[in-house]
Amino acid sequence: MPKINFNKSELPNIAKKLLMDINDNVLCFKGEMGAGKTTTIKHLLKELEVVDQGNSPTFGIVNEYHNKNGEIIAYHFDCYRLNSEEEAFDLGIEEYLYSGKYVFIEWPDVIANLLPTVRSIIKLSFIDENTRSIEY
């Protein structure tokens, strides 16, 4: 499991490296508030050349992102506000998880029993205002 310390200006390179190194389409992001989960996902979306602006789906729970041809490329879940796995199930999360598209999930522990066995865990840690650590 590689561990890399990086500063915010290196995020485009970190995103490229993640997409090259990880073969799974379900990526689970763990880390405390402010560790850079959403920001890292935004850079992954840029690297995937989505046409939509990457934003946190905290209040909508899920965002979907398209390529220039209008095809769905990725989904981004923020499970922080979910109270149970049942809520995620009611949202139809299994359809997203098994769609074959990229699925980026923040706070995955909330839905742990619904996650596919094949997935990647990405741990982000806050080091200081400009520096983070990533393990995957």
What is the DSSP annotation of the chain? --EEEEEGGGHHHHHHHHHHH---SEEEEE--TTSSHHHHHHHHHHHTT-SSPP---TTTSEEEEE-TTS-EEEEEEEGGG---HHHHHHTTHHHHHTSSSEEEEESGGGGGGGS-SS-EEEEEEEEETTEEEEE-
Q: Per the structure, how many domains does the chain have?
A: 1
pLDDT of residue 92: 93
pLDDT of residue 60: 67
Residue 109: which CATH number?
3.40.50.300
Residues of the chain with pLDDT under 70: 54-60
Domain coverage including residue 103: 3-135
